[in-house]
C-alpha cells in the first residue's frame, strides 16, 4: 500500500511537471502563433527573379544573372538578388506597429542630415501608402535605400547597381517596391490601425 502510494505521488509529480512544462509550451506556442506566417522562402518566391533582373538591367547592369536567396524570420523577411556589381535586396517588416518604425526611421535620417545632407530622405511618389501622399516612400541617397510603408507592411529596399546614377538607383528601388507590394503578405487588420474620425 505504501509502495503504491509512493508510486502515485511520484506519478503526480511527473504529471505536475509535464503540466508546468506544457503550460510553458502553450505560452510558447501562442507566442509562436502570434508571430507565425509564411516562411521567408515562400514570401520571397512571390517576387519573381526575371522581372527583378529587368529592373536591375534598366538601372544599368548588363544582362545580370541574379541569384535569389531568402532569410530572416516570419516578422522580418529578407529577400536578396545577388550578382556582380549589384546590391539588391528588400526587408519586409510584418511586426506590429510597422508604421511607427517607418516614421521613426524617416525622422531619424532627417535629423542625421543636418551634418550629412545625403542622408536626408526624399519623397518618392506612387510607391507607399496612397493616404500619405508622397510621404509614404522615402529615398535615402547616401544609403541607396528606399523606405516604404503601406498598411501592414514596411519595406526597406536596398538598390545599388555599380556605375548607376542616384536617379537610376532610386527608380530601380521604386520599381522593385511597386513590383513587390501587391504580392507580399501584410498584417491582418492593419488598415484599421488608425482610429476613425470620432472613433
In three state form, how does the secondary structure of 73-109 look? CCCEEEEEEEECCEEEEEEEECCCCHHHHHHHHHHHH
Is it the case that residue 1 has pLDDT exceeding 50? no
Kindly state the average pLDDT of the residues 186-195: 57
Please indicate whether residue 120 or residue 11 has the higher confidence score (pLDDT): 120
pLDDT tens profile 84-112: 999 999 999 998 899 999 999 999 999 98
In whole angstroms, give the CA distance from residue 190 to residue 8.
52
Between the alpha carbon of residue 169 and those of residues 66, 158, 188, the distances in Å are 16, 9, 32
- Our CA angle for 188, 190, 191, nearest 5°, is 120
Q: How far is CA 40 from CA 62, 70, 153, 161, 183, in A?
A: 28, 6, 15, 24, 14
For a pLDDT cut of 70, what percent of the chain falls above it? Answer: 76
- Cα first-last separation, the chain: 67
pLDDT at 61: 87
Q: Which pTM was predicted?
A: 0.77
- Whether residue 35 is predicted with pLDDT greater than 80 in this model: the reply is no
Phi, psi of 149 (to 5 degrees): -125, 135
Distance CA 5, CA 10 (A): 9
Amino acid at each position: 500500500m505504501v509502495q503504491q502510494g509512493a508510486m502515485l505521488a511520484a506519478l503526480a509529480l511527473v504529471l505536475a511537471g509535464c503540466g508546468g512544462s506544457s503550460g510553458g509550451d502553450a505560452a510558447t506556442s501562442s507566442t509562436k502563433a502570434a508571430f507565425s506566417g509564411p516562411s521567408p522562402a515562400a514570401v520571397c518566391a512571390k517576387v519573381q527573379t526575371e522581372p527583378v533582373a529587368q529592373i536591375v538591367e534598366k538601372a544599368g547592369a548588363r544582362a545580370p544573372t541574379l541569384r535569389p536567396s531568402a532569410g530572416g524570420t516570419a516578422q522580418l523577411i529578407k529577400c536578396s538578388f545577388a550578382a556582380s556589381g549589384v546590391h539588391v535586396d528588400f526587408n519586409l517588416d510584418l511586426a506590429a506597429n510597422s508604421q511607427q518604425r517607418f516614421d521613426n526611421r524617416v525622422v531619424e535620417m532627417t535629423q542625421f542630415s543636418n551634418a550629412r545632407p545625403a542622408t536626408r530622405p526624399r519623397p518618392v511618389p506612387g510607391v507607399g501608402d496612397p493616404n500619405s501622399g508622397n510621404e509614404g516612400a522615402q529615398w535615402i541617397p547616401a544609403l541607396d535605400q528606399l523606405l516604404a510603408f503601406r498598411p501592414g507592411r514596411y519595406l526597406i529596399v536596398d538598390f545599388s547597381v555599380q556605375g548607376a546614377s542616384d536617379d537610376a538607383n532610386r527608380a530601380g528601388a521604386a520599381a522593385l517596391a511597386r513590383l513587390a507590394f501587391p504580392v507580399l503578405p501584410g498584417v491582418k487588420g492593419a488598415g484599421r490601425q488608425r482610429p476613425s474620425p470620432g472613433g
